[in-house]
């Protein structure tokens, strides 16, 4: 019976690739990968020269959901030919990596053994580089298009993290093409300003992906968000506003006050 192992390279593979992930890349019967940057790809190919890239499945005119389905079919289908299959993905392999958890669930439904090994995500790097403790005020984390399209009810006294702001309302791989200009940042700014006001800060963050590189940390006001230039690596962070109000009745029930 075949086994599917999904691993992550972390954001800076030279520093973040775990020993377990490295071992599976080297010993699996077949390896597929989709990573960010030539340095990351070179590292994978150094560990496993015959590893196969999944980038060729992307089509700027095809919905990404269909591309992800093809990736799942390739990963799971290989289990009928190989004892072990390893899928290597950028960052944490189950955070904004749709085909990875889908492949694991599909493989398990078909009776195969499958698991995901954790990796370091962009959000982990954001907390470190901006010196933020998500437990201090609480943290909300949304994909940017989902945040707008579903009229999310969020708490402005907690941290707000918005992923994939470069690809707002883009369902194809168009946003991965060179020269792509992000859309609808004005809409995102408008929605956020309704709660925070135009003079509230927002950070455009990009983690360092290679050793000795510095992260991108651009601080701007919400009113200026439409003029910023996010990339596929950008994550937005909106600091909390206001104070957290304690529930005095609950504090008494919990014995924290008399």
Distance, in Å, from the CA atom of 186 to the CA atom of 108, rounded to the nearest integer, reads 43
Q: Say yes or no to pLDDT of 118 above 90.
A: yes
Q: How far is it, in rounded angstroms, from Cα 126 to Cα 216?
A: 10
Q: Counting Cβ atoms within 10 Å, is residue 96 exposed (0-12), middle (13-18) or buried (19+)?
A: middle
User: Which residues are registered as beta bridge partners of 247?
Assistant: none
User: What is the pLDDT, as a whole number, of residue 223?
Assistant: 97
List of E strands, the chain: 3-8, 30-34, 52-53, 84-89, 113-116, 139-143, 159-163, 201-206, 216-221, 235-238
Task: Please state the rounded mean pLDDT for residues 135-156.
Answer: 93
Better-predicted residue by pLDDT, 173 or 64: 64
CA–CA dist 241, 196 (Å, integer): 7
- State the catalytic residues: 64, 68, 90
pLDDT at 69: 94
| CATH number assigned to the domain comprising residue 50 | 3.40.1010.10
Contact 133, 127 (CB under 8 A): yes
At residue 59, the pLDDT reads 82
Q: Is a pLDDT exceeding 60 seen at residue 14?
A: yes
Residue 179 clears pLDDT 60, i.e. is over it: no
The token pair that represents 200 in the structure block: 């509230």
Residue 69 phi/psi, 5-degree rounding, is: -65, -40
With respect to residue 254, please indicate whether it lies within any of the assigned structural domains: no
Are 79 and 4 spatial neighbours (Cβ–Cβ below 8 Å)? yes
| Domain assignment of residue 152, given as a range | 122-238
Please compute the mean of the pLDDT values over residues 123-138 and round it to a whole number. Answer: 95
Q: Are both 160 and 234 inside the same structural domain?
A: yes
186 in any annotated domain: yes
Backbone angles phi, psi at 4, to 5 degrees: -105, 125
Cβ atoms of residues 209 and 233 within 8 Å = yes
Residues 6+ apart with CB under 8 A from 36: 90, 91, 209, 232, 233
Distance CA 256, CA 248 (A): 9
Note whether 148 and 214 are same-domain residues. Answer: yes
The pLDDT value recorded for residue 177 is 61
In a domain, 258, yes or no: no
Quick: pLDDT tens for 180-203: 677 899 999 999 999 999 999 999
Using the 3D structure, point to which of 89, 116, 143 is the last residue of a domain. 116
Q: What is the CATH number of the domain that holds 223?
A: 3.30.950.10
Could you read off the pLDDT of 205-226 as tens digits, one per residue?
999 988 889 999 999 999 999 9
Residue 98 in contact with residue 105, Cβ under 8 Å? no
Based on the domain organization, do 160 and 141 belong to the same domain? yes
Number of folded domains that form the chain:
2
Supply 46's token pair.
Answer: 């150094």
- Out of 116, 135, 164, pick the residue that ends a domain: 116
Residues 42 and 130 in one domain: no
Indicate the DSSP class of residue 225: G
Question: Coil, strand, or helix at residue 53?
Answer: strand
Q: Could you give the angle at the alpha carbon of 56 between the alpha carbons of 108 and 143, nearest 5°?
A: 65
Domain closes at, from 116, 141, 175: 116
Which stretches of 150-210 are DSSP H helices? Answer: 185-196
Residue 233 counted as domain residue: yes
Interior angle at CA 229, CA 226 and CA 233, nearest 5: 125
């Amino acid at each position: 019976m075949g086994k599917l192992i999904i691993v992550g390279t972390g954001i800076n593979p030279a520093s973040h690739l775990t020993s377990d992930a490295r071992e599976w890349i080297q010993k699996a019967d077949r390896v597929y990968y989709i990573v960010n940057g030539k340095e990351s790809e070179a590292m994978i190919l150094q560990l496993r020269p015959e590893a196969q890239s999944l980038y060729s499945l992307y089509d700027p005119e095809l919905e990404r959901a269909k591309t992800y389905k093809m990736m799942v079919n390739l990963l799971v289908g290989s289990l009928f030919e190989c004892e072990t299959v390893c899928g290597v993905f950028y960052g944490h392999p189950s955070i904004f990596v749709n085909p990875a958890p889908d492949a694991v669930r599909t493989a398990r439904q078909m009776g195969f053994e499958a698991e995901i090994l954790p990796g370091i995500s962009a959000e982990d790097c954001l907390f470190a580089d901006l010196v933020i403790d998500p437990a201090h005020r609480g943290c909300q984390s949304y994909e940017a298009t989902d945040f707008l399209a579903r009229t999310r009810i969020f708490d402005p006294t907690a941290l707000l993290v918005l992923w994939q702001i470069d690809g707002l309302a883009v369902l194809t791989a168009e946003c991965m093409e060179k020269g792509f200009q992000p859309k609808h940042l004005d809409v995102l700014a408008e929605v956020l300003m309704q709660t925070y006001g135009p003079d509230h800060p927002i950070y455009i963050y990009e983690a360092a992906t290679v050793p000795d590189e510095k992260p991108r940390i651009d601080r701007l006001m919400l009113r200026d968000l439409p003029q910023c230039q996010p990339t596929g690596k950008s994550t937005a962070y909106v600091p909390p506003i206001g104070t957290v109000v304690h529930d005095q009745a609950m504090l008494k029930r919990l014995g924290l006050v008399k």
